[in-house]
Structure 1
């Protein structure tokens, strides 16, 4: 008897057989081969309602509405990156057009460590697949779409957070191993968003050795209540799998059953693969578990060959830490609209921050200054001054006009662009106008 999926599910598979950082790197060609074999061996594609689709190739315009690539896209982005991003776009369009109920993009290279400004690869990521997908969908279906990300990778989703930190229509939730113990060393409970979107960034750092128990507690008591309140039009699981107990790069204890149960309860519209480097012992089982959960099918028999019940045992200290932070974050979410933004960010006209960003994959150090205009009528104009070392380009300025820009901020952005092009202070000046969907460059 043929099995029928409860939810019609689209799978987009792009293993990028012609791309790797190095032959022995964790992010290498064969990373998804065992997953593909497991899907075929289990007869997943024979289930009525589960169908595989081909990715498309993301355009340069898709990348430009999300990133500022320095000096340009052709210097940074390869064809496999465009196809991986295109796989995410294909998944999003399948759901938005109603061709499927849900979609899972099993793709590489990953993307959630790619920032708004891109000088090279960091954390194995060059461009941000899920952000490129979201910006494509917002351009096509309306920028007023309310988007929610729940990133379950063991590494903090610092790139996606960076892109949407000041966007009021995007809720970004990241559960990850505590940044004090793992790359990229960020993602703490006090990071709650910029002045234009305060409270719409939620970070829950999980202690090393957190098990299914801690992950699912956070889901039930923090994530689901916030999502119920936010009411997104599109819910995306950035489905990193390096929280698995066998992953060689992390110190977490999540099982395939834990991932599947999380996905079944979360009930996302889309899942986009992120990290996960236990390519034989974890990915085949986790991915099949996620597929079955998204399809609305029984996943209770999905277990790793070396699984044993003791893996789910969690120390009382870890449980207490998670409960404390969940309570703190839930309170911050409930009180976010009562915050005096000018007082909170200690600013009058602009909120200014400085940061150093290390591109560990490309061995580049970037110095950034970010200014966000405090505006009562929109998220506020953003100005980013950036210089990378080493770099043949020199200092650049990126001016970003937000989706919901008021007329004053739009006009100010155009003025700042023209002003910055004069003189020799900046080698390249970019104007990314999200409202008009255009990117200008003085190059």
Structure 2
């Protein structure tokens, strides 16, 4: 008997692949569905299945600016994957169910605000699209995204980096040992959002013990302090000990207990590439935990690959609890210091590689702050990419935040028009996050 009503959205994307035999393929969901049917979970009246729908281009453009345009970089499968997340969000917000899990592909957490192609199996960021949809449709403000994928969600970090109302927490295998090579504690957000981007890089070999030590010692306290209106689980499952793309030691029980503790309102499938040995059992455990059902008997059939956790993993966890805890709980003081130091503008440069397409991007991002407390200002992006499917590309992008005042809106447009007049860029684009429009000047 389930304690919670749970909505499930499945979309295996039969018509989309990166290449034949690629780890990110439709079987990731088909084996899971077979397992759920075998366990009779679809016969449980508290578990309701929903069909996905197509997201609109405006939904994507609240989170992304595609170069030359997002519509030219995606397929209907991407719109359906994102749309499945929006269906899950609607089901929860309209109180048809208490929680929802979108088991969809293609995944999304490596897709950054600017999109030139596919990187880390991702083209659009389905969680970020859902977050912006929740804000536009339901006026939800404070949202926590907890990313349990073994790879750092560098795309989600990028989209939320300037947003103090989104708490992004990612625990992952240390970026010095795994793609994408990022995700360290000092990547904590831009000055006005400092401390709301939480990175917890774990040593290879970390298992259930270390993971729950980290959750109990830090993550739960951060969530309690932030007090989000909604918790979203970016539910990557490649921390599993059998996953072929990583080196962690988490079990299906470890994941299920984590889902039970987290109590996420909405979960969205991300990575996980042990298609037969892990995904059916991990997903079943997460679903049972989200529904408030007994998950104690969910055990993988083959535990031979599971290794004992090295004590050094716990030492790293304890170090992160101390270091990142201090960073988070002192974030307001640090934010004020950083804002005073940078003045009205903060800038960073990024070198971005699209591993699936060999695209190399150089990007300069500038955040322009406003003296008005109610205004979040605007930010600009200068991007130059080599080797895209459209050739070499360059663009100047101005991004209008949701809480932008008329004065800053005018300044943002003036900056874009000045760049258009200089003629240095192939494209000059203006993204309005609130409306989901991207204007090509």
Q: Is TM more than 0.5 here? A: yes
TM-score calculated relative to the size of structure 1:
0.96
Partner residue, 2:62? 65
1:316 corresponding residue in structure 2:
311
CA deviation map 1:364-401 (0-9, x unaligned): 00010000113342333100000110243631011011
- After superposition, residues 46-85 of structure 1 pair within 5 angstroms as 46-85=43-82
1:7 aligns to what SS in structure 2?
Answer: coil
Unaligned runs of 5+ in 2: none
How far the C-alpha of 1:64 sits from its partner, in A, is 1.2
CA contact (8 A) 2:59 2:436 kept: no
Secondary structure class of the residue paired with 1:394: strand
Aligned positions of 1:245-256 closer than 5 A = 245-256=241-252
Match of 1:25 among 22, 26, 39: 22
Equivalents in 1 of 2:194, 2:122: separation in Å? 26
Give the CA deviation at 1:437: 4.3
Are 2:343 and 1:348 equivalent residues in the alignment?
A: yes
Task: Give the conservation status (yes or no) of the 8 Å contact 1:196–1:380.
Answer: no
* C-alpha displacement of 1:338: 1.0
CA displacement at 1:342 relative to structure 2: 5.3
Q: Secondary structure at the match of 1:390?
A: strand
User: Contact conserved, 1:213 with 1:312, CA < 8 A, in 2?
Assistant: no
The C-alpha deviation readout for 1:254-309, integer Å capped at 9, x for no partner, is: 0000000000000000100000000000000000000000000000000000126x
Rounded Cα–Cα distance in structure 1 between residues aligned with 2:307 and 2:92: 34
Could you say what secondary structure the match of 2:84 adopts?
A: helix
Q: What is the CA-CA distance between 1:426 and the residue it aligns to? A: 1.3
Matches within 5 A, 1:69-218: 69-142=66-139, 145-218=141-214
How many equivalent pairs are there? 437
Query: 1:329-371 CA deviation, whole Å, 9 max, x = no partner?
Result: 1111111111254547842231111111000011100010000
Among candidates 365, 376, 381, match of residue 384 of structure 1: 381
Aligned to 1:375: 370
2:422: which partner in 1? 423
In structure 2, do the counterparts of structure 1 residues 146 and 343 end up closer, same or farther at CA, with 3 Å as the change threshold? closer
Looking at structure 2, the residues matched to 438 and 247 of structure 1 have their Cα atoms a distance apart, in angstroms, of: 39
Instruction: Single out whichever of 276-285 and 317-326 deviates more from structure 2.
Output: 317-326
Q: CA deviation at 1:411?
A: 2.2
Superposed CA RMSD in Å reads 1.5
For 1:31 and 1:409, the matched residues in 2 are separated by: 46
Q: Is the 8 A contact 1:156 1:186 kept in 2?
A: yes
C-alpha distance 375-339 of structure 1, shift in aligned 2 (>3 A)? farther
Q: Is the 8 A contact 1:106 1:273 kept in 2?
A: yes
Per-residue deviation, residues 150-204 of structure 1 (Å, max 9, x unmatched): 0000000000010000001100000000000000000001111112211100000
2:321 to 320, 326, 333: 326
Question: 2:223 aligned with 1:230, yes or no?
Answer: no
Deviates more, 1:202-211 or 1:65-74: 65-74
User: Equivalents in 2 of 1:344, 1:300: separation in Å?
Assistant: 49
Find the aligned partners of 1:345 and 1:252 in 2 and give their Cα distance.
41
